[in-house]
Amino acid sequence: MIHQLIFAHPKPGMNEPEFQDYWVNVHAVKYASKITQIKKYLIDTRIPFGPEPEDPRFSGVAEIWLNNEKEQLESLQSDAFLQGARLDEPHWAAFWRTVVLDTDTHVLLEGAPRSRDEQGIKLFAMVKRKAGLPLKTFRRYSLDIHGSLDLKLPGLKRYYQCHARDGLYAMGEPLLDMVAMLWFDSTDALQAALNSPENAASAADLENFIEMKYAYTFVTQEHWVIGPEARA
């Protein structure tokens, strides 16, 4: 299954709360959810954590699951997309700042069954592999070596690594190679994890396989639109 991540930013003149409200309660419900090829649909809205940037790079992420490339193409050719979701995008999103990444998701820690009512927060970490590092080596290191370090973080409830799909490299070098998702019960639990010696070991390892200057993290809350069970 394709796990597509869409990182988005508010259009000029729209503040972050307005942007997030429109995305979750208007665009997702009225337009995007009508695309029948989408099997699951989740919106993650950015929440404050730590020093607040004046202009956050992204204010949220859409997570979309599709069965395969054929159905993905059908979705992009559908009236629900062309005459609905696509036409609505300029009403709320700065589309020129949007980043889209098709991924294969690796579950390193499944945690409790997913729930629409699940509380807690999720940390996104967007990374690009170190210059000169072969993609195969990067993936193996990220999953086996670095992943084992992250799994030791206190309070970690669920952990996914979403790696860019092979097909993206046939068209060039994608902006990102991997997005990690780490779930915690609260921002306090996340802060405790970040202050831990286990995180110090994980952070020290990053320079072994990623370009630190391109790394970007932010914290979100989840809003299920379709799911967590896939629709027929």
- Taking only the tens place, the pLDDT of each residue in 10-64 is 999 999 999 999 999 999 999 999 999 999 999 999 999 999 999 999 999 999 9
Per-residue pLDDT, averaged over 174-188, amounts to 97
Torsion-angle region of 188 (φ positive above 0: left; ψ -120 to 50: alpha; else: beta): alpha
The HSE-up count of residue 102 (CA atoms within 13 Å, CB side) is 14
Residue 171 has pLDDT above 90, yes or no: no
pLDDT score at 78 = 98
- Taking only the tens place, the pLDDT of each residue in 143-170 is 999 999 999 999 999 999 999 999 999 9
Cα–Cα distance for residue pair 100/162, rounded to 1 Å = 13
Mean pLDDT score of the chain = 97
Helices (H), 78-211: 79, 86-88, 135-140, 147-150, 166-169, 187-194, 197-205
Domain ranges of the chain: 2-226
- Domain 2-226: give its CATH architecture: 2-Layer Sandwich (3.30)
Residue 95 has pLDDT above 90, yes or no: yes
